[in-house]
């Protein structure tokens, strides 16, 4: 399958931990990359590879993977983390890129 | 800091060709470690990878769009471009350009995106 499935919306209380998941067959073979998108801003890479953070990304963001599911965990969510989050990976049956549908994170 | 900026018409008529350009600053488009990609997002939907071009001119396109997509690169201007032919209302979307790690599927820098509406 070339699809990556994400929950449309997730909420978390300020300072608590939230996990955003991404499911798809290709994730059995490839790690997911994760992007944060806020209104009016360019998407921002937050996690790539096994669990790598680009320079400037807070260490409260982490990534993990098990079977066909990848997860982005925010430990101690902050108000500024409220955004849409997208996962992506490589299609397992073709040499191209696939994205998840996105998860809207609300910080309460 | 690498920056990307999309430019082009915000309105295209059905059956015509959508043309967008991405200008890269803060880095060279001729860097060997990167592809230069286009991604779009239909209103209320997820992201869709359109394809990439390497500075040498080699390309890879999403099979679902391959018959209508042409990408080109101008290293002298540090720009790359997208042409999507025979557009319909289904091509209405926000179009992003992005830098893709070579041999990978990770996009480390993105433009802010530009809305292209297909309508008569």
pLDDT band of A1, cuts 50, 70, 90: very low
Inter-chain contact A101–B45, Cβ cutoff 8 Å?
Answer: yes
Distance CA A6, CA B37 (A): 23
B32 touches chain A (CB under 8 A): no
- What average pLDDT does range B55-67 have in this prediction? 94
Distance from CA of A91 to the nearest CA of B (A): 9
pLDDT of B1 higher than 60? yes
Q: Which residues from A are below 8 Å from B105, CB to CB?
A: 30, 33, 88-90, 97
The residue behind tokens 């909420």 is A11
b/e per residue A50-80 (b: at least 16 CB within 10 A): eeebeeeeeeebbbbbeebebbbbbeebeee
Task: Please name the residues in contact with A63: beta carbons below 8 A apart, sequence gap of 6 or more.
Answer: A31, A32, A34, A47, A48, A50, A51, A52, A70, A71, A72, A73
Distances (CA, A) of B27 to A7, A55, B42, B108, B113: 36, 17, 29, 13, 19
Name every residue whose Cβ is closer than 8 Å to that of residue B66 and which is 6 or more positions away in sequence.
B51
Residues of B in contact with A100 (CB under 8 A): 46
Comparing CA positions, the residue from B9, B13, B6, B7 lying closest to residue B118 is B13
Please indicate whether, in this complex, the C-beta atoms of B110 and A42 are within 8 angstroms of each other. yes
Encoded tokens for A108: 């309460």
Q: What is the pLDDT of residue B44?
A: 85
Q: What pLDDT, on a 0 to 100 scale, did the predictor assign at position A7? A: 96
Tokens 């931990």 label which residue?
A17
The mean per-residue pLDDT over the stretch B30-36 comes to 94
Find the helix or strand (DSSP H, E) in which B18 lies: strand B18-25
B107 and A90 within 8 Å at the Cβ level: the answer is no
Q: How do residues A20-74 score in pLDDT, each as one tens digit?
A: 999 999 999 999 999 999 988 889 999 999 999 999 999 999 999 999 999 999 9
User: B88 is written with which tokens?
Assistant: 């319909």
* Distance of alpha carbon B47 from alpha carbon A73, whole angstroms: 21
Give the model's pLDDT for residue A92: 75
Per DSSP, helices labelled H in A1-108 are: none
CA distance A70 to chain B (A): 15
């Amino acid at each position: 399958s070339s699809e990556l499935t994400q929950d449309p919306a997730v909420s978390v209380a300020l300072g608590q931990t939230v996990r955003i998941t991404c499911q798809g067959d290709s994730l059995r073979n490839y790690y997911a990359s994760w992007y944060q998108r806020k209104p009016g801003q360019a998407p921002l890479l937050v996690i790539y590879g096994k669990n790598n953070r680009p320079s400037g990304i807070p260490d409260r963001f982490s990534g993990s993977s098990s079977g066909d599911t990848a997860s982005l965990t925010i430990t101690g969510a902050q108000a500024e983390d409220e955004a849409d989050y997208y996962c992506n990976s490589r299609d397992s049956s073709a040499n191209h890129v696939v994205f998840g549908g996105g998860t809207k994170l609300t910080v309460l | 800091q690498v920056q990307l900026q999309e430019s082009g018409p915000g309105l295209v008529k059905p059956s015509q060709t959508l043309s967008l350009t991405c200008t890269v600053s803060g880095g060279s488009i001729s860097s060997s470690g990167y592809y230069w990609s286009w991604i779009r997002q239909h209103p209320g939907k997820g992201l869709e990878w359109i394809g990439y071009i390497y500075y040498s001119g080699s390309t890879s396109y999403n099979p679902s769009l391959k018959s209508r997509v042409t990408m080109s690169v101008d290293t002298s201007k540090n720009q790359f471009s997208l042409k999507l032919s025979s557009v319909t209302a289904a091509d209405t979307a926000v179009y992003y350009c992005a830098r893709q790690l070579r041999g990978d599927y990770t996009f480390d820098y993105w433009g802010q995106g530009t809305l292209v509406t297909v309508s008569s």
